[in-house]
Amino acid sequence: MDNTLFNLSGKVAVITGGSGTLGTGMAKGLASAGARIAIIGRDGSKAQRVAESLNAEDAAGFSADVTRRDEIERVAETLLTRWGHVDILVNAAGGNRLDAITNPGQTFFDLSPDAMRAVFELNLMGTILPSQVFGRHMVKTGQGSIINISSMAASRPLTRVISYAAAKAGVDNFTRWLAVHLAKEYSPHIRVNAMAPGFFLAEQNRALLIDGSTGKLTARGQAIIDHTPMNRFGEAADLIGTLVWLASDASAFVTGIVVPVDGGYSAFGGV
């Protein structure tokens, strides 16, 4: 096999949400393949600390809210001055809110419209807006790879997380739409794909899956493990292989797909 297919040397990769648990792991993976790394997060100092921790040829952290196009454009201007081009965009910014989740004390009928809109904004618009800003620069060079981070909740809606599941379903649809649009209207060498992680322990869901007082699985955490054939939660390192493949020339004829990275969750019917 030609290992140069997976080599990202000379490429510039932008990762939104790159200072989170999964974003940091993905940044490390792209850096290990040779890419220069730009970390975008709401907390610019945290993003810079992550950038400095990477074993990268060159890396930097930037502060921006992915739901604010003006802030993303400001970051794009800065990093383009530094590196001159953008080759890879990973839209990893996302998350949920407690007030947008149903529970015994908060029914679907009582969910706050503002909370639900905030989840839609972060997960869906927070994917679309960076794709507009950085995709425009990919059009200028005629090549690039956009990788969106979806979720198992998009294709198999999970109980309680109505807003998050709907937003991630929108990410799947947007991924396919943008893949066709960019290939047909601009360049077949600009590809758009998505990864759909299964259940990974991260800051936003740990309390739902692990009992903080005992360290044991919650009932929801146990149900997830019971429905995951590989019998464990995912780790950030489990995303790297698929990510580097989608970012590199190894997937040069792949666009418009959503790749499950879920330990078999989506294949299992529960019986």
Q: Please state, as a whole number, how many other Cβ atoms lie within 10 Å of the Cβ of residue 142.
A: 11
CA distance 93 to 127: 8
Q: Which residue has the tokens 């503002």?
A: 114
- From the number of C-beta atoms within 10 Å of its C-beta (0-12, 13-18, 19+), residue 14 rates as buried
CA distance 225 to 77: 44
Residues in contact with 180: Cβ distance below 8 Å, sequence separation at least 6, in sequence order: 256
Residue 118 and residue 135 in contact, taking contact as beta carbons nearer than 8 Å: no
Strands of 258-261's sheet, edge to edge? 59-63, 36-41, 12-16, 88-91, 144-149, 190-197, 258-261
- From the number of C-beta atoms within 10 Å of its C-beta (0-12, 13-18, 19+), residue 160 rates as middle
Please list the residues that pair with 60 across neighbouring strands.
38
Q: Which residues of 237-268 are buried (b: 16+ CB within 10 A; e: fewer)?
A: ebbbebbbbbbbebbeeebbbbbbbbbebeee
Residues assigned a catalytic role: 164
